[in-house]
Structure 1
Amino acid sequence: MAHNYAIDDDVHHLRQGPQGRAGIQQPSVYTIITCLPIEADGRPRYRIKSKTENVERVVTEDQISRLA
């Protein structure tokens, strides 16, 4: 499986609530800053940076989506 997003792509990240439950808040806008190695289970990973806060996260591809 290959990465579907590239560096500098803007994406939505849906924040996770307690125990992995999706939060009610609107998705935050992040920019992909690095494509990381694909996990052993085949899921691509990315390092993303918030456009509004001083926050970086490492996420799997199923946790992000393209901007509408």
Structure 2
Amino acid sequence: MHSAEHSFTGWYKSSFSGANQGECLEVAVGHPDVPVRDSKTPHGPVIAFSAPHWTTFVAAVVDGRFDA
């Protein structure tokens, strides 16, 4: 984990985030790793995935592997 104080730029809300459900992720583009943060706490911690791990995670979300 990284502190959000790092100067990651290019944040955008993930298309997989819920509209008004409070389950919103933001992802920053243009970095060697893929920084991810909770949109409700933009100054909170950032998790940085390697590009291959991020691709695997997104594929699992799309496949519904995290559905309750």
Q: TM (normalized to structure 2)?
A: 0.34
Higher relative contact order (CA 8 A, sep 6+): 1
Q: TM (normalized to structure 1)?
A: 0.34
| Greater share of helix | 2
| Greater share of strand | 1
